[in-house]
Structure 1
Amino acid sequence: MTHTFTTRTLDITTGSRETVYDLTEACAEFLREVAAGRDGLLNVFAPHATTGLAVLETGAGSDDDLLAALHDLLPADDRWRHRHGTPGHGRDHVLPAIVPPHATLPVIGGRLELGTWQSVVLVDTNVDNPHRRVRLSFLG
């Protein structure tokens, strides 16, 4: 059986607000172009020290609940030793320890195998950097 590896980088603008940015359609489009109906794995990676990736329901309040929970866990105040940037920016550097900057997801028949309400999202609490890259890699 022959395996192929294909990768692409997405350029994302998250803006100047904390956000949960839905990547699901971009992942699906990438797989339509490269998976050719094969089974395999999609790896999603954000090469940033202040973002994470998650799989969760969006549009029904869960994305806002996630940001609220992160505010409770990682308050944007002066407690952080990492002090450059906007006040509380140090918490953004702790985020990837809680919301990792990677996810590996199953691909079946060339399609992302997610649950009914699951979406792949970029979690970005860093308001100092509105430009992000996300690497999509398919092995199948």
Structure 2
Amino acid sequence: MPETFMTRVIDVTTGSREAVYDLTRECAAFLRDVAHGRDGLLNVFAPHATMGVAVLETGAGSDEDLLAALGDLLPADDRWRHRHGSPGHGRDHVIPAIVPPHATLPVVGGELALGTWQSVCLVDTNGDNPQRHVRLSFMS
């Protein structure tokens, strides 16, 4: 079967507070449209300077734990040289160095090959920009 590359940009509203936004359903819907039962790779890329993509368990507290850990590691205070936006916004620009703005995931039989409790998530600490774009790309 020939190699295929398909891509789509989706719009996501993450809100005006820091959040872990689960993208797993959107990824699965994209793969239903384009993978057609093939194996390959799904790349999830957030073209923003202030958020990342993570694979983690959600709904059992891990998402809140991640935000708390990032708050401890990168407090939203006045220590940051990057000072535009809301107070402490400079830390949002450091997030992608800790939680990268991309993830590449295996696709088997047209479906994400995630572990039992894994979800694909956006990690967004920047409440100044609640409207986001995410590029989903599938290569078989």
> Take 1:107 and 1:63, find their aligned partners in 2: how far apart are those partners?
24
Name the CA distance, whole Å, in 2 between partners of 1:82 and 1:27. Answer: 33
Work out the CA distance in 2 between the residues paired with 1:107 and 1:129.
31
**1:45 — aligned with what?**
45
Alignment partners' CA distance in 1, 2:129 and 2:60? 27
Superposed counterparts of 1:39-118, under 5 Å:
39-118=39-118
Q: Which structure 2 segments of 5+ residues have no match? A: none
Q: Distance in 2 between matches of 1:21 and 1:104?
A: 17
Percent identical: 81
Aligned pair 1:2/2:2, yes or no?
Answer: yes
SS at match of 2:7: strand
Q: How many residues align?
A: 140
Output the CA distance in 2 between the equivalents of 1:10 and 1:21.
13
1:113 CA drift (Å): 0.2
**Aligned position for 1:31:** 31
For 1:110 and 1:47, the matched residues in 2 are separated by 25
Aligned-partner SS, 1:90: helix
Q: In structure 1, the residue corresponding to 2:127 is in which secondary structure?
A: coil
Equivalents in 1 of 2:45, 2:131: separation in Å? 15
TM-score (norm 1): 0.99
CA–CA distance in structure 2, aligned partners of residues 78 and 61 of structure 1: 28
Question: Equivalent residue of 1:77, what SS?
Answer: coil
Q: State the partner residue of 1:12.
A: 12
Aligned residue type for 2:12: I
SS at match of 2:21: strand
Question: Any stretches of 5+ residues in structure 1 without a counterpart?
Answer: none
Partners of 2:124 and 2:18 in 1: how far apart? 6
SS at match of 2:94: helix
Query: Residue 115 of structure 2: SS of its match in structure 1?
Result: coil
CA distance in 2 between partners of 1:14 and 1:137 (Å): 21
Q: After TM superposition, where is structure 1 displaced by more than 3 Å over at least 4 residues in a row?
A: none
When normalised by structure 2's length, the TM-score is: 0.99
Q: Cα RMSD between the aligned structures?
A: 0.5
